[in-house]
Amino acid sequence: MEIKQYWRLFKNGIFGENPVFRLALSLCPAVAVTTSVRNGFLMGIAVTFVMTMVNITVSIFRNLINPKVRIPAYILIIATYTSVIDMTMAAYSRAAYKEMGLYIQLIVVFAIIISRAELFASRNKLLPSAVDGFGMGVGFMVALMLIGAVRELLGKGSLLGIPLVGARPMLIMVLPTGGFFVIGLLMGTFNWIEKRFFGGTGAAPGGHGMH
């Protein structure tokens, strides 16, 4: 493949099939941790690492894993890399780990990771798989940081810890309730943008993958 195709593959993860907004997969912990841009960034880094490494590993062993045991094998691979990032985060960013530790450990059951391993990495060569995992991970990170930015701005009146708004912030936005509101409104907005400017149907996303 040429560079251009890799670029397209990478972009697909961020715009075309952004894991949070378009596929609606693995929504579970996405909203929980993103009370600030920084938390969204850290969670995104963790997911990007796990996805890239899992895609690489699955791709390398794709001809050796018996199709009958592939799901347990994938889960084992994902669990291994999740443990790695879990221990790394616990060691190097203690304050953030206290808030997000549970959700970092739950990366292991993110539907998006196993679905990329199954749909992409198990059928493609090493390099495209790595690019696909990285692109999806970055797409996840961008979406989390966007949600985090909205919630931090409205809920704490700051961005990246820098106070911006003078007025009293709406505390509700950093509480769990705010996460649901923000993600619902962002999804609706994305639908509207697509319908208005790209001539899409404006139908709700996430029909698939919501099992």
Partner 1 sequence: MLNELGKIFIASALINNFVFTRYLGLCIFFGVSKRMETAVGMSMTFTSVMVISAALSWLVYNLVMLPLGLGFLKIVIFIGIVAAFVQAADTILRKISPGLYYKLGIYLVLITTNCIILAVPVINADEKYNFMQALTMGLGSGAGFSLALIIMASIREKLELADVPKVFQGLPIAFVLTGLIALAFLGFSGLIRL
Residues in contact with partner 1 by CB under 8 A are 24-32, 72, 75-76, 79-80, 82-83, 86-87, 101-102, 105-106, 108-109, 111, 114, 172, 175-181, 183-185, 187-189, 191-192, 195, 202-207, 209-211
Cα–Cα distances (Å) from 148 to 37, 41, 65, in that order, read 5, 9, 39
Distance (Å, rounded) from C-alpha 121 to C-alpha 124? 5
In the complex, least distance from residue 182 CB atom to partner 1, rounded to whole angstroms: 9
| Residue placing its CB nearer to partner 1 in the complex, 32 or 126 | 32
Length of the chain: 211
In the complex, least distance from residue 158 CB atom to partner 1, rounded to whole angstroms: 22
Provide the token pair at 100. Answer: 């997000």
| Beta strand spans in 145-198 (E) | 158-159, 162-163
In the complex, least distance from residue 51 CB atom to partner 1, rounded to whole angstroms: 15
Distance (Å, rounded) from C-alpha 189 to C-alpha 194? 9
Distance (Å, rounded) from C-alpha 150 to C-alpha 19? 19
In the complex, least distance from residue 133 CB atom to partner 1, rounded to whole angstroms: 18
| Residue placing its CB nearer to partner 1 in the complex, 41 or 110 | 110
| Residue placing its CB nearer to partner 1 in the complex, 5 or 189 | 189
